[in-house]
Structure 1
Amino acid sequence: MNRVSGSRQSVLPQRVSENRTSLVNATPQSKDSAFGKLNIPKPQSGTSDRRTSFFGKRFSGAGMPRNSTFGTFGGTEKVKDPRPLHDKSFIQQCIKHLCEFLSEQGFPGTVSIKSLQSPSTKEFLKIFEFIYTLLDPTFQMPTSKIEEEIPRILRDIGYPFALPKSSMYSVGAPHTWPQVLGALIWLIDTVKLFSNMKEKDLLFSDFPESHTEIEEGLEFNKLFLDYTAETYNRFMQGADVFEEEDREYIAKLKKLYNVDEVMLESLAEKHRILSEEAERLEKESQADRLMAKRTEKLKRQTDLQKLQSYRSNLESFKSSLETKAMGISEDLEAIDLQMETLRQEKERLQHILLNQKFSPADIERINRERNELQQTINSLTLSLEEAEQHMWNEEIALAKVKEEAEMELAEYHNLARKLKLIPTCAENACGRDFEIKITSECGPSTMAQYKVQILNPLHNMISEVEEEISILSNKKLSLEEAVEQVRSNITDKMNDLKDLKEQIGKLDEQLEQDMQETAREEEKWAAEMKSMENHKKLLEKKVTDGYDNALEQLTAAQQQYHLVLQETNEQRRSVVNNLHSLFTTAADHLSIVEKFLDDQHKRMNRVYKKSIQEADTELKELKEMVENYIMKADAL
């Protein structure tokens, strides 16, 4: 075979596409059997620079080598943290995210956003231990050298940024807490990723946990080699299609791994039914939200119109107040000028009094004049206060009169808008301007002009309307006679309408029966949903038990560390090859299952759309029949 295959390789091109490897590797491998008796190398001491991974040499998403079970970043180059850890808003978001995560996971202590602003070292250790136990339930916080152990633990599980030891001495300090908080957020993301990967393992939970171990995939390898040899012989004989061999190979694989196709089909059918129900509920809730939003929009538009009218009233009132303020400011300026003149006169008199010598008679005369002037000033001040009070009362009265006028004017404008007289382009305005505009220069002449402008057209319009009313009253009498005749015809048609109503009642009863059947089907779907949830809980319990067994096996493998070191490099290479084939097979199987489920989903969507179209057609025919009955009744 090797000789013949070597000769064909240089003569003929490859006739079978490479995508057949997905069919060859489509084997639902069991989780536990793949790790049955592998020679697992244990990592060396923590001080060694060269460490061996549980899955061999791997690389992280950033392209850096990772070691240990979860993978650590190799190399000595420090990676700069691109996150804005010095931004206060980003720190507050991280604190909120941490507080929500601890609350969801049931953290035993009491945490709040305020306490996480600058936590103590003791609180940080409790939070770190709680989060890390979600990854490793057997983890216990070290009792000594915390400042070295925590950075080492983060480095071992793949934290890409350096966390200095000094940050462990004062965790809540402003210059160290952002870095520690960034490490906790990264650890939370790791926990979420780990939990999602555990949930994805449920894909193979329907396959039985093999009680008889397939040691290193011997049975699968035997089937695969037989299939390869048979198809290659057919290929050398000139065949390009191997449908029969593929069917036999897939049947043997299903028998080997006990694949339950009936269960997969039932799950796909249940998924289709639940998807249809979810789409129907989404459409109903969307319609309700749309009506609520439309109602809210109408309310907002009404409020906006009210606010605009109130704003226009405030602007007019503001302009009137500004006019009054200007008059008062002018009066105050005149009073200030008068006070300034009196002050200058007082200074002049005081200067004369200081520079001249007076006799007692002059002093007595000056005192008498001063008293008279003081009395005059008091009387003038009193009269000024009375004048200001009178002016204030007059302004208040004017404001009240103006407010009443504005209210009457607004009432007039509202009535004119209802009668379609405002604006000029309104239906009943006929190009006339019936709007009254009040300005600061408004006076008796303006009011007389408005009377001439508005009253005469209104009188003309009233006379025209009265003539139209008389004409319409005559028409009303004739129409009433016609209505009497029509009523006599209506009484004749009521019997026919009763018959149609009886038919409609029968249709309503049939519709109610259909609705009751739909309700019973919905209750049946709810019971099936509950059974599915119970099945999901049972599967989660099985996955948890399998994880505990895997941990026990890992502990036993680590205890055999010294025995594993004596094995040859050839055995290690075989283990790596087996693991590679295992993961390749699992990935290919996952892609095939996803593709199959997508095809089933598309097919179910087509069937659903077709059934919906048929139901719409039947409903449209029913509506047309009812409309025809109504049209016939109206015609009769």
Structure 2
Amino acid sequence: MKKASFGRRSSAAGRNTFGTFGRQNSFDGNDIRLSRRESRGMEKKSMLLKPGFSAKKRSASSDNLSAHDPKQWSSTVKKPANQQRNTLVRSTTNMNITGINLVASTPCVTPGLNPNLPGINSSYKNRRLSSESRYSNYGGVLKNRKEVRPLTEKDFQQTAIHKIQNYFLTAPNASHILNNGSMKPMTTTMFTDMCEYLLHKLDRNQVLNKSKYMEELPKIMKKYYYKGKVDKSWLITVNASHSFPQVVGLLLWLVELCETQNRFNVMDTLYPTILDPDESEDEDYEQTVEFKMYLPFLLNSYQVESRGSSKPTDQEFLKKQEELLLDNYKKTLGIDEEALIKLETEVNSHKEELDLLNDLTEEQKLEEIKAMKAALQKDIVSSKKYIKDLQTCYGEVQEYISKKKDERIFQEKDIENLQRELNAVNSCINGQQITQDDKKNIEEDIISLKQDIHYETNCLEEYSNIVYSEDLNVVDVRLKLDKLFVQYNKLCAENMVVLPELENAIADKNVLALHIRESLKDVDELLKSLKNKSVEKLKEAEHKMANIRIELDSAELEYNKLKKIAEKLDPERDADKKRLLEITDRQFEEKQDHENRLYEIQAEMKSINLDNTKVNIKTEEKNNLCQQISEMEEEKNYIFTKAFNSLKKHAELIEETKEFVKTSSDQLLQNMQSIKSNYIQK
């Protein structure tokens, strides 16, 4: 079989593959798999973003990552000596990987238990770039790597066996795989169980068919880029003298890979929170923008830059991407356009002032230099004080470091003693023997524990279903709560003109945040105070309404009295009308009689010559009659005006009472409606 290599392969001519961190997964948990035919027919680019340097100028590092030397397993990977700024060397220094370099024998394959994180289900060959060679994940290597661990040495085997046994004894649900806590004697079932457990730890989707483990295990280990020998010659007889070192080496490699996986965090590596590591060393430096904001811009610009074309459409696309990044940066930092315009005007004014300063005379410059000299002297004095403070602080830190060193030495001695005790206990455990009864009891305990585990898993599934339903109920309640908050804020906004205090009563619907809970307490107190005020206002309004009702009752009584008076005056008014009509008729008749008589008298006067005395008497009678007629007409007019005025006054009084009752009732209804609406809103 072909051995995995961290460097260039003979089969990689004309293509370049780029190392990935495990399985090529999308972040929604779906695997991105390319078939062998597709990988041969087209050139696929890496899913990872291209760093800010050329992919063609990569250094061919000669370092071999400590080459599985046990003495160098805890050493870190160093950069090549000939590495330049624009070269691509995947080391722990470049990528800020914490914990990945502690075991140099482990390649950069870190499949996680989380299905949303990268794994190993896609082939390394699916990621290709247009360069001419294949490099490892930690740096360029020109020659093939081979197994360099001393697998046949007894010391190495003992330490490796001890490490493997400790891992299975401390790992959950793994101690039953060993034979009484020991790997010896190794059997095929034990070997397959151990491999299955470790592979499941690395990737829970990885399945090992125990009946065909001799065919599947080499393929799986090839995926993991295992450098050792995995073939049927020793897989058939795993306990043989020539096979056991290979078994130990493979299991040790998988154990180290699992330990490295637990220490490695993929998301912190792919999405670093610090953009500039040089500036992050400063204590006053504050990172305000996360690296995730630049990922869309880097991905789009990488797709354009990787083509190597200088088309105007590509340039316009890059400019648009830069503008989008700038807008996103402004939104993230909360920068306003007006503030930017003000800053530009200030910069222009400073430029004008700078141009004016260039035209100053030498005397002004000399005065400025003197002022600068005085300021520098003050800075020197303050810096001397600061240096003294630093020296005192340095002495204190040195004392603290010496104390910590002494404590560390003491703790290391304690650790050595505890390790010796642990080794002695493990040796006792490995060397002890148990009887058949104890073995039966242990098997019965194992069966009962399996039943308990099965029962607990069923309970866990039921609990997860219950939690899922509860989550759905919580979502429904949250939606209802959001609607209620929206209605509440709408009511506050509508009534803010009437009650300006409601401006402080507007609440945020994210009630789970602590600061919002505190603000809700303030809003509750404000609403309680408004409620008390509204209750007082309601009491006052009720008191006013009671007074208005009393006044309304009194007005109704007066209205009824006036109505009764008007009803009593109606017959008198009718009688007056009849009397007036009779008087007018009688006066008209008398007037007709008098006129007829006057005509007769005038005719008689013309026909008969009377004495002046008689004429005077008749004229006096006539005048008396005319005076009586005028007096009767005046009396008639007086009676008519008196009756008309009295009726008019009664009608006006009735209309006034009607209007007063109507206005008072309308005002009372309006007051009641406003009080009711205010009380409901509060």
TM bracket (short chain): under 0.3
* Structure having the higher Rg: 2
| Structure with greater helix share of residues | 1
TM-score (structure 1 length as normaliser) = 0.27
TM-score (structure 2 length as normaliser) = 0.25
Considering Cα pairs closer than 8 Å and 6+ residues apart, tell me whether 1 or 2 has the greater RCO: 1
